[in-house]
Amino acid sequence: MKVQAYLSFKGNCQEALKFYSELFDADIINRQTYEDKKIDVPSSYRDKLQHAELKGKNVYFMAYDVSPDTPLNSGNQCQMSIEASDNAEGKRLFEALSKGGQVHHNYREREWGYFGRCTDKFGIGWMVNHNQ
């Protein structure tokens, strides 16, 4: 069995994946737009991503832009969890992910190690951990 995250966006999936690919040094692969799909979406939406994947060392998830008539509420798209290699990496990732978003729990030392939780500027929830 394989379990992985599939993120949903409201038309800004390409922008989000570009941000994540730079942050995590990963590649955007299997990029497919709605262009040639037999799906009832407006012509202005045809260049949006119907499917894409982000793949790199220690990171892999899929993402897409929901069709315009699909209900999607910010905050219910997915919760992502990162286990950082060290505290410096955890701090760097948390600062980048929370910039322009909302911090729910500052990245700081907890009983089990370091932890922070935020929602990024794309509405995705992130938990960043580093266990000592």
- How far, in Å, CA of 54 to CA of 74, rounded? 21
Q: Average per-residue pLDDT in the chain?
A: 90
Domains of the chain: 6-65 (3.10.180.10), 79-131 (3.10.180.10)
Q: How many residues does the chain have?
A: 132
For the segment 47-57, the average pLDDT, to the nearest whole number, is 94
Task: Report the predicted TM-score, pTM, of the whole model to 2 decimal places.
Answer: 0.80
What pLDDT is attached to residue 1? 55
Tens-digit pLDDT profile for residues 66-83: 888 888 887 667 879 898
DSSP string spanning the chain? -----EEEESS-HHHHHHHHHHHHT-EEEEEEESTTS-----GGGTTSEEEEEEEETTEEEEEEEPPTTS---TT-S-EEEEE-SSHHHHHHHHHHHHTTSEEEEEEEE-SSEEEEEEE-TTS-EEEEEEE-
- How far, in Å, CA of 121 to CA of 91, rounded? 17
What pLDDT is attached to residue 18? 98
